[in-house]
Amino acid sequence: MIGELPPFLILLVGALLIPLFRGRGQPIFALVVIAFGFLNLLSLDYGIYWQLPLFDYTLVFGRLDRLAFLFTLLFHIAAAIGFIFALHVRDGMQHVAALAYAAGAVGAVMAGDLITLFLFWEILALASVFLVWARRTEAARGAGMRYFLFNVVSGLLLLTGAIVHIHNTGSIAFENFGLDGSLGTLLIFLAFGIKCAWPFFHTWLTDAYPEATPTGTVFLTAFTTKTAVYALARAFPGTEILIPIGTVMAAFPIFYAVIENDLRRVLAYSMINQIGFMVVGVGIGTDLALNGAVSHAFNDVLFKGLLMMSMGAVLHMTGRMNGSDLGGLYKSMPITTVLCIVGAASISAFPLFSGFVSKSMVMTAAAEEGHTIVFLVLLFASAGVFHHAGIKIPYFAFFAHDSGIRTTEPPTNMLVAMGIAAVACIFIGSYPDLLYSLLPWPVDYEPYTLTHVITQTQLLFWSALAFALLMASGLYPPELRLINIDTDWLYRRLGYGTMLAFRNGFASSFQSANTGIRPWLGRIYDRIHAHHGPQGVLARTWPTGSTVLWIAVMLGGYLLLFFLAD
């Protein structure tokens, strides 16, 4: 039976069966399901599977090539690490949502047509929002609703774009579209962009991810945005507009992350920064750039997941997440501290860590293709991510001032999950050939050249020196208990205020109109009532003679009109 089942179906049915178990049995059962799905995946050959005729079309629930295999493999690994991290959780809703969420991501990656893609696109949105709501706070409820609305808009754009595209071409295939100027592909492009957290569409990520549960954020980090990166690499490789979009994505979150107090929100901005590198790679579209984009997506799930897990462990043990409230935790959480530093070194692209062997592929491709300004901005973004994720996260959480918090290490399962991710980050960074062998396009890249190692080491050294000087001089933005204004202010404050003003203005206008119209309506009612009311002219009993007379008059009038018309 191995190899005969769609990978998404194994995970989805497993999610539906989770409520049959209790307590720790739920995440353990989920791990068994993921292991079975993983073995099922490894038994498959490249090709087209599980086709379903629908009217004049054929739905494809299983298209497996090198690109789809890499992401499907990644999502199984991420799901397994996430459930190990969540073994202590006694919340069936979270476990069902997380496994269904993984099923949606796997199904979207293996979808061979737009209709199937839309189905799993919606499963992604519906399942993931429960990981935000599961925290059961007022902030989580509001953030989850905004998150869901953004994802619904993305789904509507995808559905509309698919309908237009099918009408224009007669094909439902999910393939390399490119921006051909048609409305259908443009709407599909925007749908992918929203889920990819493009600038001005990014606030659903920075709003919702920090409000999710400590374990839920780990799953959120892995699936939605990486599915969108896959979709762009599948449908829009070499689309040049993606280069400036990705460049802006890599740069602007640095400024927010540096001043942000909530450390999980810092990592949310950092995620957009890293996705920017992937989007640039897809936009450049060469084999080297595309390999860099998808390999960096693979590595990002691991090192960003590791950082999110370390901050989730801190939140679980202390109940706090603001940098201003933390510090000194290395004394009571030394293992978590070391594992967090591994994640920080990986995202900062230290040699021998995973980010070093993937991020540089995109930057090298940008330089080789003559995108000098893009290369310089990405270089700045690399230095910036070292500041806010490589240094700020471990420094303010575990060092900095001593907050006086004394706790213990998180549950063993959390440490094991973080340990697995940390080992993977070091292994891939030290032996990248295994990852390179899985990449979809031919690989001719050597990360460990003397020039690259020296250049990256210098960049990291000067960035660290700049951080130290800024901290010593007091110029580095302090951790303050403030709310930073992002573009979501436009709809959360300005838009809401505009809606209230419109509602109040409409209510006032209606009241004024009602005051003026009411007497006139009353007079009309009185006149109608006078004729049709119980005592009205038309309602009272008429004598037979009068009735016959009026009938005769009406008949005569009709005959006269008929005669004149003839």
The predicted-structure confidence for 165-200, as pLDDT tens digits, reads as follows 999 999 999 999 988 889 999 999 999 999 999 999
Q: Give the C-alpha separation, 516 to 149, whole Å.
A: 40
Q: Does the pLDDT at position 483 exceed 60?
A: yes
CB 398 within 8 A of CB 474: no
- pLDDT > 70: percent of the chain: 89
Compute the distance between CA of residue 435 and CA of residue 8 in angstroms, rounded to an integer.
Answer: 23
pLDDT band at 509 (very low <50, low <70, confident <90, very high): low
pLDDT at 54: 86
Looking at per-residue pLDDT, the higher value among 423 and 549 belongs to: 423
DSSP code per residue over 108-144:
HHH--BHHHHHHHHHHHHHHHHHHHHTT-SHHHHHHH
Geometric angle at alpha carbon 222, from 218 and 225, rounded to 5°: 125
pTM summary value: 0.86
pLDDT surpassing 90 at residue 387: no
Residues 28-50: tens digit of each pLDDT: 999 999 999 999 999 999 999 99
Q: CA 397 → CA 120, 406, 472, distances in Å?
A: 37, 13, 18
pLDDT for res 204? 92
Q: What is the pLDDT of residues 239-284, one digit of tens each?
A: 999 999 999 999 999 988 888 889 999 999 999 999 999 999 999 9
Is residue 258 a contact partner of residue 389, using CB atoms and an 8 Å limit?
no
User: If you average pLDDT over residues 40-68, what whole number do you get?
Assistant: 92
Q: Does 117 have pLDDT greater than 70?
A: yes
DSSP category for residue 262: B
How much is the pLDDT for 148?
Answer: 94
pLDDT band at 480 (very low <50, low <70, confident <90, very high): low
**3-state DSSP assignment of residue 275:** helix
